[in-house]
Chain A
Amino acid sequence: MIVVISVVAWLFIVVASLCLVVGMALLDRGRIARLQTNLRRYPWELRREILGLLAVLAASAVGRGALQSVSEVYGWRATGTIVAIEGQFVAWVQASLFSPIATRYFSWIYIYAYVFLLVFPVIVYGSRRTPTTLRRLLVAYALNYGIGLIVYTIVFAHGPRNVMPDLVTSLLFTYNPDFQELAAQVNENANVFPSLHTSLSMTVATFAYRTRGSDPAWAVLTAWIAVSVWIATMYLGIHWLIDVLGGIVLALGCVAAAVRIVDPDPRGEDGSVDDAGTNAE
């Protein structure tokens, strides 16, 4: 446990510094000022979305063990089918990209950049005039986790590092066993389909694409990190290609649903707060 605490503390420091640096670079003074006012209003204004997300996260934390037991007994054993479909794709990804620098880069992406990617949108969208996008983002996060948990229960499969260790090295965990302790605290190794790393990064990337008109730099940064995360999940031997594709589909579905569920804020001046607007690109 001591090990895990030090890993979490380090993660917090790195992500907070990233948020600070990127925030200074991307947001002008006006938006930072607005962020400060919004941060006082939004927790109450967005309480339904926030509580909804927290409820899903709590259900995941509390119910994961029980659902895992259900999955162990009743779940569809999908490992063999996945291997039959995609074969050695992940082994190929790892072999073609392998280098010590790539391992460092993708490990860094998988842990730090990923958490940054989930946290920073709160700053970007919290500094907008209306909370619509932030609302939709929170709803999409909750949907991702909720649906992910259900699919995890239905599908029982292990990732490439667990199934073809002769071809795919468990790069992240072999070089950083502490991360595995951390991962084991928040997930089970039989939860691979869909890849929530992929779906959440795709969710953020999709929103960033929709707001590329007002935040072009953020859209580019997000696309870069999101694609890196997808490759990282496979390069590190954690997920199959099918998990990544499943994550992308899940994300698109969740974003579409969130946009449907959350109507644009009536205070929005031009009705296109969420969309790219006229001056895209």
Chain B
Amino acid sequence: MPTRRQVLAATAATAASGGVSGCLGAEKNVAGRDQPSRMTLTITTLPADSDPHAIRIVRHLAEHLEAVGIEPRIRTVDDAGLYREILINHDFDAYVGQFPSADPIDPDALYSLLHSSFVAEPGWQNPFGLTDPAIDDLLDRQRRADHEDRRRAVAELQDAVARRQPFTVVAFPDMLTAVHDDRFIGWERTRPATSEGLLELDANAVVGTMTDDEGRDGEPTDEEPANGEDRDGDPTDDRRLRLVTTDSRITTNRNPIAPEHRRYGTFTGLVYDPLVRAIDGEEVPWLARRVVRVDERTVRVEMREAVWHDGEPVTAADAAFTYAFLADTSLGKAETPIPSPRFRGRSTLVDSATAIGDRTLEVRFTDAAAATQRRGLTVPILPEHVWRSRTDLVELPAGITINEMTTEAQVWENPDPVGCGPLRFREAEADERVVFERNPAHAIAAEPESFPERVRGKPAFETLELRVVPSDVAAVQQVGDGLADASTSNLGPDAVPRIGREAAARLVSQRSGAFYHVGYNTRRVPLSNPYFRRVLARLLDKAALVGSAFQGYARPTASPLALSGSWLADELRWTDGDPATPFFESDGEFDAAAAREALREIGYRYDENGALLVPDSAE
């Protein structure tokens, strides 16, 4: 630290020069003061192999941080590690990642993301540590309000969030998938990497018959992508959907409530069924046959006849257990409730759920508008006979620190998941592959007429095999070689052009709600300062990033609700640049001088080398 050294050197020089007694007071004053230190900012993210976009956003931000005198530190971690550090240990300065929902979100999803009451909880519950009464009020208001009142509250909320910038929305990426149409079609109807998307796929009837003939042939060479029908040593499996991903978490952990192991919960979302499933924005009674409103706060759910994958019957008691369990995974054993770290926002909508018959459930909601209440019915239902024994408290292995007690349920790997959904687990090899199979006992097969047409009689595959590949480029190569039907993880700038060169592969692009954002740990100085966070947000040239990091397959945004239809506040609509936190630019270039000036204006200082200093009494 040159500053400190210079100060010390100056002090020594003064002492040596003679006038000792007269200067001692001043020296004492200098030495007794904390010397400001240069600011460093650590940005945590995934390596390019796991997420080709995030690291490019980090690099862009790091470059601009450096230009304004802040030393950036890039911290790369693995998938589970990233979310362990951010969501569980809250051990980060800033991170770049995606919001964990492939579908555009309901405004109420912001409730658990930002409400101060979740500040100590693990999971996607206020990982930023934001505690702001005005935002809490608006979150509560939008939850209770209906129609126009809610719209106003949501608009005000977006504005308040934009001004405080607990996180900076960078862009909504397109969900890009390399597909091979040989066996399955319908990829462009919906988002292929979501539960509902996989459910809606159709078998390719034409080629389906052809593959039988091919079965007799010898080993196909992998040089022939066009008819590269690889059996992978399993010739009996005709209707096998083969997916590739760079995310290996599902091969080792299949716990639906472990937030550090789930991305969108695509596969656990098909193993576990909710009472009501949202399909393309429409709420479809799923495990529920019918939902009848009793009064303002209460509904009665009639459940279908169903069995768990292990043969036990699904009862209303299971559903009642699930709601109690999500609200407190220790079921009262812990001093204070330990809620499930996933589905937290939705579980707070449900006050109580009571079984009033074998298959009849009465759900009482908390104080929320009817339209919002229904989100509470979309959580997955868990079997009581499996999860009740997981409600004990555990001591975590050292190193994973957590600011409260943890139940076994939260850290269980759930190796052999028992759900009642349309897919059931078959087998897995850690970090290699996982295989699911169609559940023939599911109502979607037994009584297809009671389901909407696009999912009737689905899934179209008998088995679903997800294989782990080392990178997005390798994923595209697998699809191009006919060894996989589709890729489900993100495809970056190195992989996308490759799809065009592979004769058998095709690029499918869908809007994704999983917006990329820079999240700030507002518990830490200097990120606790909203003015500072706003300056950081203005270091991002979102429009340029869409071009460089996403090859144009994204849209820059200023609000997390930019894809949520009419919920987007008019003031935050992206027109010609960022309406809330405009990029510091002049003549199309980054204007570092303007950014430095903005930092000075909000009270920050620089040393003589142009390094930004951490404000006094930091940390």
Contact = CB atoms under 8 A, between A and B. Distances in A.
Contacts of A6: 222
A150 interface: no
B481 interface: yes
Contacts of B492: 165
Contact of A3 (B56, B76, B481, B493): B481
Q: Is the interface of B mostly helix, strand, loop or mixed?
A: loop
B430 A162 contact: no
Contact of B59 (A1, A2, A164): A164
A177 interface: yes
Nearest to A237: B48
A72 interface: yes
A157 B59 contact: no
Contact of B76 (A79, A178, A181): A79
Given A162-B47, A183-B470, A72 B71 contact: no
A239 interface: no
B207 interface: no
B47 A177 contact: no
Interface string B385-404: 00000000000000110000
Contacts of B399: 73-74
Given A65-B431, A180-B474, A183-B470, A84 B230 contact: no
B473 A174 contact: yes
A162 B400 CA distance: 25
B279 interface: no
B52 interface: yes
B410 interface: no
A83 interface: yes
A169 B549 CA distance: 13
A161 interface: yes
Interface string B323-346: 000000000000000000000000
Contacts of A157: 76
Contact residues on B (Cβ < 8 Å of other chain), bracket:
35 or more
Interface string A133-169: 0000000000000000000000011100111111101
A163 B57 CA distance: 11
Contact of A170 (B48, B60, B80): B48
Nearest to B47: A162
Contacts of A169: 494
Interface residues of A, number: 36
Interface in A4-19: 6
Given A65-B430, A157-B76, A163-B48, A189 B494 contact: no
B473 A180 contact: yes
A77 B483 CA distance: 35
A164 B59 CA distance: 7
A190 interface: yes
A170 B494 contact: yes
B81 A189 contact: no
A173 interface: yes
A163 B471 CA distance: 14
Contacts of A77: 75-77
B549 to A, nearest CB: 8
Interface in B77-95: 77-78, 80-81, 84
Contact of A184 (B47, B59, B430, B470): B470
Of B76, B471, B492, the most chain A CB neighbours within 10 A belong to: B76
A177 B471 contact: yes
B494 A2 contact: no
B42 interface: yes
B76 A2 contact: no
A79 B73 CA distance: 8
Contacts of B48: 161-163, 165, 170
A180 B470 contact: yes
Interface in A50-93: 65, 72-74, 77, 79-81, 83-84
Given A65-B431, A83-B74, A165 B55 contact: yes
A73 B76 contact: no
B441 to A, nearest CB: 33
Nearest to B493: A165
A262 to B, nearest CB: 38
Contacts of A183: 470
A72 B474 contact: no
A105 B362 CA distance: 70
A174 B73 CA distance: 26
Contacts of B55: 162-165
A152 to B, nearest CB: 14
A79 B42 CA distance: 11
Contacts of A190: 47, 76, 78
Of B222, B232, B430, B492, the most chain A CB neighbours within 10 A belong to: B222
A142 B501 CA distance: 43
B47 A80 contact: no
A3 B477 CA distance: 11
A180 B471 contact: yes
Given A2-B483, A163-B47, A165-B56, 4 more contacts: A83-B74, A162-B47, A169-B494, A180-B473
11 contacts: A73-B81, A73-B399, A162-B76, A163-B55, A165-B52, A165-B55, A165-B56, A166-B60, A173-B470, A173-B471, A173-B474
Interface of B: 42, 47-49, 52, 55-56, 59-60, 71, 73-78, 80-81, 84, 222, 230, 232, 399-400, 430-431, 469-471, 473-474, 476-477, 481, 483, 492-494, 548-549
